Structure 1
Amino acid sequence: MASVLPSRIAALNRLRCSLFQTSYNPTSQRTGAKYLRRRLQGPSMMQYYPQEFTIAQANKIIPGWNLIDRLEEMRLDDVEQKKKRGKGTPKKAKTAADSRRASRKR
């Protein structure tokens, strides 16, 4: 029984990869192709969790109702209280000289 030369097997593998559009990897290095071929999880996760329907969306759909979002009112009140105590978000720098980073570089 005659054995097949390794060069013939390599040529056959190369031809098979070109025909079936797979990657030719004769050294068996890790390429991550298994993970790239895998089905994406994002779309199925989006189908699993129901879409949220907020009060703001309801007010946009039906403008005459004017529903009140208590959580949003509480959040805005908390932001206002923080601003009064000086704990609000910092002001944006209008010029490069106003920024904190410019004052540190000196």
Structure 2
Amino acid sequence: MAAVAPSRLAALTRMRCEIFQTSYNPTSVRTGAKYLRARLRGPSMINYYPEELTVARFNRMGGGFKIQDWDEYERLADVEEKKRRGKGAPKKAKSAAESRRMSRKR
């Protein structure tokens, strides 16, 4: 039995890829097709983890109920304490002239 020429096998493979709509990759380079064909993981992960109900989200839901957010209350108290001691965030500049960067001498 005679061996089939490699060029004929390559032509057969190319034709098979055209018919079955697959990618023709005779040199076997990495294409990432395996990952592109894979099912997306994002929607499954979103459905797996439940939505976290925070105090702020509960208060925004309505219904007339309000819960005191102690963490937020403590954070605001700390910010006020730092402002009183002069350690708070600097005031924002209203214009370019008030900016500290613009007033610096070169």
- Same fold at TM > 0.5: yes
Q: Which amino acid aligns with 1:70?
A: W
Match of 1:91 in 2: 92
The 5-angstrom pairing of residues 30-41 of structure 1 reads 30-41=30-41
User: Runs of at least 4 residues of structure 1 off by over 6 A?
Assistant: none
Q: Over aligned residues, Cα RMSD in angstroms? A: 3.1
* Distance 1:15-1:56 versus aligned 2 partners, 3 A rule: same
Determine if contact 1:93/1:99 at 8 Å carries over to the other structure. Answer: no
Match of 1:75 in 2: 75
In 1: Cα distance, 2:55 partner to 2:77 partner: 18
Determine if contact 1:59/1:65 at 8 Å carries over to the other structure. Answer: yes
Aligned identity (percent) is 56
Deviation at 1:99, TM superposition (A): 7.5
Match of 1:64 in 2: 64
In structure 1, runs of 5+ residues without a counterpart are none
Give the TM-score normalised by structure 2.
0.69
In 2: Cα distance, 1:12 partner to 1:96 partner: 74
Deviation at 1:90, TM superposition (A): 6.9
Match of 1:3 in 2: 3
Q: Which amino acid aligns with 2:47?
A: Q
SS state at 1:11 partner:
helix
Determine if contact 2:55/2:67 at 8 Å carries over to the other structure. Answer: yes
Q: Which amino acid aligns with 1:44?
A: S
- Name the larger-Rg structure: 2
SS state at 1:71 partner:
helix
* Distance 1:21-1:73 versus aligned 2 partners, 3 A rule: farther
In structure 2, runs of 5+ residues without a counterpart are none
Give the TM-score normalised by structure 1.
0.69
In 2: Cα distance, 1:96 partner to 1:18 partner: 67
